Amino acid sequence: MIIEQIYTGCLAQGAYYIESDGEVAIIDPLREVKNYIDKAEESNAKIKYIFETHFHADFVSGHVTLAEKTGAEIVYGPDANPKFDCIVAEDSQIFKLGNITITAIHTPGHTLESTTYLLKDELGKDHAIFSGDTLFLGDVGRPDLAQKSAHMTQEDLAGMLYESLRNKIMPLNDDVIVYPAHGAGSACGKNMMKETVDTLGNQKKVNYALRADMTKDEFIKEVTDGLLPPPAYFPVNVKMNKEGYQSIDKVLKQGSRALDPKEFELIAGETGALVLDVRSKSDFVNSHIPRSIFIGLDGSFAPWVGDLIRDVETQILLVVDEERVEEAVTRLSRVGFDNTIGYLRGGIESWRDAGFELDSIGQISAEDLAKLDAPAIIDVRKESEFNLLGVAEAANIPLTNINNHLQELPSDETFFMHCASGFRSVIASSILKSRGIHNFKDIRGGMAAIKDTNFELIENSCPSLSK
């Protein structure tokens, strides 16, 4: 028996490859499926099942493409209603895979169809659960993502999650291994651990949601407390996972079309496509196409694209290092952005050589900023980060909400923006410049650099403008 966790840091997502006696199951695959197919072929094995723990909201799964390419059957849990052929399992239905079995355990609460898969080894012993978003390490799945379609409140779903955990998961042996769908950094939970594998016994000790003495009302209150609004692209990803989507091969072919600067400029003008620059933040700061938006590949790329661009139908033109074109198009498709229509051949150098205009972002060091008299500072970190430690007299406008607060930015003086280390503030800078706002400077190094100056830093600095 082989169990391999295939973890994708950008999405904080775990997919799973399970093999036994020449048969393979994939759990919660990513959009690009070649890796799973190659692994099976290398072992001379056949992919038999594709198990989905639920309709994912934060990424587009590869289930439809993988089934088309391999003939494997897609399996969802009870109450699923996809618009493609699949097995809708009954609670406790058993699936044989080589010399092992996988049992579908219906665990509603995160969503109505949420299902945990229990793997029994060759001796019939409970070995592991693939818990999807039902049980994370240190947390549980948020119960507010399915309420619109299910006509249920988040409290209703939280109550169902409590029962699922107490009646279906916690009675299992402590040595059962927990393989969750997400880890720290995912928007599908609140306080996940950085580890990606644990035992159920340890989770019973450290996970607040599995406290033995916790009442149902206490669980509902704690699980629903402090939930931030889900990213705007989540419902669209759910729809794609339910209804299907176009082939990743087609998406890659379209998005990998090389355009010379004149073609690029013409298509941008004719289509109104968004010019998305995914190079390093330093490259963007130094030189970029005017009104382009920066979201660097080396940060939490896909979630920020989904959170800030939001409309998955947006046509996108890429400014990207040529060796990373396929990576950029693929990572966009993971969150449903399938309309990349090309990239700038030769990068920003070819744009410059063709005589087109360039822009840059003004920056200031934290040391030089500290010499100014009462500078206007905008902190674009999350409200929780700002409240933990912020510059006295600074205003907080989290990056996620910056488009809703443009009118509140100073218009008659230069202001200064920062985040934790500089990634988010450069994204914010690109958004402001694309909206015609130029009277600001980015604070190089962010809060990490500010801490080394004489700025007064306090907790709960001032009211956030995040609403």
Q: What's the whole-number mean pLDDT along residues 252-279?
A: 97
When pLDDT is cut at 50, 70 and 90, the band that residue 25 belongs to is very high
When pLDDT is cut at 50, 70 and 90, the band that residue 39 belongs to is very high
Cα 11 vs. chain centroid, distance in angstroms? 4
Residues 6+ apart with CB under 8 A from 14: 5, 6, 7, 8, 28, 179, 180, 181, 182, 183, 196
Residue 433 has pLDDT above 70, yes or no: yes
When pLDDT is cut at 50, 70 and 90, the band that residue 418 belongs to is very high
Whether the Cβ atoms of residue 370 and residue 453 lie closer than 8 Å to each other: yes
Whether the Cβ atoms of residue 304 and residue 427 lie closer than 8 Å to each other: yes
Q: What is the largest CA-CA distance in the chain?
A: 74
Q: What is the rounded distance in angstroms from the CA atom of residue 281 to the CA atom of residue 363?
A: 12
Among candidate residues 306, 288, 226, 329, the one with its CA nearest the CA of residue 442: 288
CATH for the stretch 2-236: 3.60.15.10
Q: What's the whole-number mean pLDDT along residues 445-461?
A: 87
When pLDDT is cut at 50, 70 and 90, the band that residue 10 belongs to is confident
Q: What's the whole-number mean pLDDT along residues 438-444?
A: 97
Residue 464 has pLDDT above 70, yes or no: no
- DSSP string covering 313-330: T--EEEE--GGGHHHHHH
Characterize the bridge pairing of strands 415-418 and 73-76: unpaired
Residue 204 has pLDDT above 80, yes or no: yes
- DSSP string covering 369-426: HHTSSS-EEEE-S-HHHHHHSEETT-EE--GGGGGGGGGGS-SSS-EEEE-SSSHHHH
Residue 460's pLDDT is: 60
Give 104's DSSP letter: E
What homologous superfamily is domain 363-458 in, according to CATH?
Rhodanese-like domain (3.40.250.10)
Q: What's the whole-number mean pLDDT along residues 153-170?
A: 96
Among candidate residues 209, 216, 234, the one with its CA nearest the CA of residue 145: 234
Q: What is the rounded distance in angstroms from the CA atom of residue 396 to the CA atom of residue 419?
A: 10
Residue 148 has pLDDT above 60, yes or no: no
Q: What's the whole-number mean pLDDT along residues 382-387?
A: 91
**pLDDT tens-digit profile of 82-95?**
999 999 999 999 99
Q: What is the rounded distance in angstroms from the CA atom of residue 462 to the CA atom of residue 200?
A: 41
> Which tokens sit at 393?
């007299």
Q: Which residues pair with 47 in a beta bridge?
A: 24
When pLDDT is cut at 50, 70 and 90, the band that residue 335 belongs to is very high
Residue 150's pLDDT is: 53
Residue 186's pLDDT is: 83
Query: What are the start and end residues of each CATH 3.60.15.10 domain in the chain?
Result: 2-236
Percentage of residues in the chain having pLDDT higher than 70: 97
Whether the Cβ atoms of residue 158 and residue 219 lie closer than 8 Å to each other: yes
Q: What is the rounded distance in angstroms from the CA atom of residue 223 to the CA atom of residue 213?
A: 15
When pLDDT is cut at 50, 70 and 90, the band that residue 248 belongs to is very high
Helix (H, G, I), strand (E, B) or coil at 219: helix
Q: Of 28-42, 229-243, 317-331, where does mean pLDDT reach its minimum?
A: 229-243
> The pTM is what?
0.88
Residue 467's pLDDT is: 45
Residue 461 has pLDDT above 80, yes or no: no
Residue 188's pLDDT is: 80
Characterize the bridge pairing of strands 363-365 and 440-444: parallel
Residue 177's pLDDT is: 98
More confidently predicted of 192 and 146:
192
CATH architecture of 246-353: 3-Layer(aba) Sandwich (3.40)
Residue 149 has pLDDT above 80, yes or no: no
Residue pointed to by tokens 């600074």: 394
User: For the chain, how are helix, strand and coil distributed in percent, rounded to 5?
Assistant: 35, 25, 45
What's the whole-number average pLDDT of the chain? 94
Query: What are the start and end residues of each CATH 3.40.250.10 domain in the chain?
Result: 246-353, 363-458
When pLDDT is cut at 50, 70 and 90, the band that residue 173 belongs to is very high
When pLDDT is cut at 50, 70 and 90, the band that residue 62 belongs to is very high
Q: What's the whole-number mean pLDDT along residues 427-435?
A: 97
**pLDDT tens-digit profile of 279-313?**
999 999 999 999 999 999 997 898 899 989 989 99
